[in-house]
Amino acid sequence: MDNHAEWNAKNINDALLWRQQLPGSIVIAGGTDVIPKLSIHSNDQPWIYIGGVAELSYIHEAENSLEIGACTRISEIEKSDLVRRRCPLLADAASKMASPQIRNRGTIGGNIVNASPAGDALTALYALGAVVVCSELQGDTISELETEIENFVKGPGMTALSPGQIVTKIIVPFQNGRHVFEKIGGRRAIAVSIGAAAIIWTEKNAVPVVRIAVGACARTPVVKEFPYVIHEDEEKEESSIVDSVYELLSPISDIRAPAEYRVNLIRSVLQFHLRGYEIRCS
Amino acid sequence: MQLNFILNGNPVSCEIVGREVLVDVLRDTFHLTGTKIGCREGVCGACTVLLDGQNVNSCLIPAFSVADREVTTIEGLRSDPIAKRLMNNIAGENGSQCGFCTPGMVISGYVLVKSGVTLTEETIRREMAGNLCRCTGYEKIVDAVMKSGENNGDQ
């Protein structure tokens, strides 16, 4: 093999072959998280560029889910009629990420593998119960491994992705019902969340449930599902849900916000939405 | 390796080593210094160009990835009527002081105005949120973009 440091994949087979053959390779799709982190003087690690692999960019409707190619740009997800109708939470989260320029290049697969605790699309995907599909070349065939997103993301910047694998698809189950996505950051855009809440009111086996995912308050986003019984004492019901979510949180204090602020914020956001009000963000 | 792409409407070719990002190729190889470098992180938007008509941060794009694609810089919008209207309005509204953010602002504003969506303050601020300005306080830029819609303002 030639000793080029940059490998420009035209199809998934090439990408997976190189991934197998080039130890320590860095996979680049949109590059918006990876490029700033790379030292421009470092030439040790081969790049495998998959941003040009057309077969990895798609949004398909399956029977019970959307299937989204890992290299689908965030802006495409944001604007997709299909996503807005069937998984509005994801479209909403996508629309609040970074900036228009970043959304035009960043990909959903990249957002997952980057595994930021404050990842907005990531938090939405936790609430939606998404499944991450990783592909690997085994002999002559491509094998696929499906992992629930909560098990795929391990910690800040850490995932279950193994050296020979590339994330190729995200399966987003339909969660029919009301979706709310609330992101709090320092400014309107290009803001890393200091708290994000993704809430879905839906039904599982005809039982009303509420799924709540919180981002930026732990090492990864966290998610929990609760049967949603309409009590006479609504406040009691709602505060027991909020307390349960609170137990999952272990935020850090950093330059963006102190830990206590983050949890108080999330508590307020959850209480507000569980009471059925709508926040109009200007 | 050789890189071939369309730059401001013309097919061009250049040699690249491998890991250069697009902004450096535009500025250093093609001497198109209208595109500025502010952060190299994709935060400030000073490096904004059009790639196949979409506004992107050229500091984050590997040059090799634009092979056979269309890149438009601020220089390439000189004769575009919508861009000219926008640039005149920015100048007229005092929406440019040091000028460093201005090429990026024009590119992002151009995409918005050209899209034909109704221009409101909310829409302008949202669609241009990826371009930072340290001088003007943004209001005059917003005013300029608002005036640049199809049926609006100064020509």
Question: Do A47 and B19 lie within an 8 Å CB cutoff?
Answer: yes
Q: What is the pLDDT of residues A44-58, one digit of tens each?
A: 789 999 999 999 999
Would you state the pLDDT for residue B46? 98
Chain A contact for B130, CB < 8 A? yes
Partner residue opposite B45 with nearest CB, options A35, A43, A101: A101
Distance CA A228, CA B128 (A): 40
Are the CB atoms for A99 and B129 separated by under 8 Å?
yes
Residue pLDDT tens, chain A, 282 long = 444 678 999 999 999 999 999 988 999 999 999 999 886 546 678 999 999 999 999 999 999 999 999 999 999 999 999 999 999 999 999 999 999 999 999 999 999 999 999 888 999 999 999 999 999 999 999 999 999 999 999 999 999 999 999 999 999 999 999 999 999 887 878 887 889 999 999 999 989 999 999 999 999 999 999 888 766 566 666 778 888 888 888 888 888 888 888 888 898 899 888 876 544 433
Q: Taking CB atoms and an 8 Å cut-off, how many pairs form between chains A and B?
A: 83
Mean pLDDT value across chain A = 89
Chain B closest CA to A171's CA: distance in Å? 27
Give the residues of chain B that fall short of pLDDT 50: 153-155
Q: Which residues of B122-142 are buried (b: 16+ CB within 10 A; e: fewer)?
A: eebebbbbbbbbeebebebbb
Are the CB atoms for B132 and B101 separated by under 8 Å?
yes
Q: Nearest to residue A97, comparing CAs of A67, A70, A71, A76?
A: A76
Distance CA A127, CA A108 (A): 15
With beta carbons under 8 A apart, name residues in chain A contacting B122.
Answer: 282
User: A60 has which bridge partners?
Assistant: A67
Chain B closest CA to A32's CA: distance in Å? 6
Are the CB atoms for B113 and B141 separated by under 8 Å?
no
Distance CA B98, CA B118 (A): 29
Shortest CA distance from B45: residue in chain A: A101
- When scoring A99, A114, A188, A190 by the number of chain B Cβ atoms within 10 A, the one with the most, hence best to mutate, is A99
With beta carbons under 8 A apart, name residues in chain A contacting B65.
Answer: 8, 31, 49, 51-52
Chain A contact for B144, CB < 8 A? no
Residue length, chain A? 282
Taken in order B102, B26, A114, A223, is the CA torsion positive or negative? positive
Chain B closest CA to A52's CA: distance in Å? 7
pTM more than 0.90: yes
Residue length, chain B? 155
Are the CB atoms for A107 and A71 separated by under 8 Å?
yes
What is the complex's ipTM, to 2 decimals? 0.96
Question: Do A189 and B126 lie within an 8 Å CB cutoff?
Answer: yes
Shortest CA distance from A96: residue in chain B: B126
Would you state the pLDDT for residue A245? 86
- When scoring B5, B19, B68 by the number of chain A Cβ atoms within 10 A, the one with the most, hence best to mutate, is B19
Chain B contact for A47, CB < 8 A? yes
Would you state the pLDDT for residue B110? 98
Chain A closest CA to B43's CA: distance in Å? 6
Question: Do A189 and B130 lie within an 8 Å CB cutoff?
Answer: yes
Q: What is the pLDDT of residues A209-263, one digit of tens each?
A: 999 999 999 999 999 998 887 665 666 667 788 888 888 888 888 888 888 888 8
Partner residue opposite B125 with nearest CB, options A8, A40, A188: A188
CA angle A138, A141, A143 (to 5 degrees): 65
Partner residue opposite A49 with nearest CB, options B57, B62, B129: B62
Would you state the pLDDT for residue A280? 40
Are the CB atoms for A241 and A226 separated by under 8 Å?
yes
Token output for A50: 């998959």
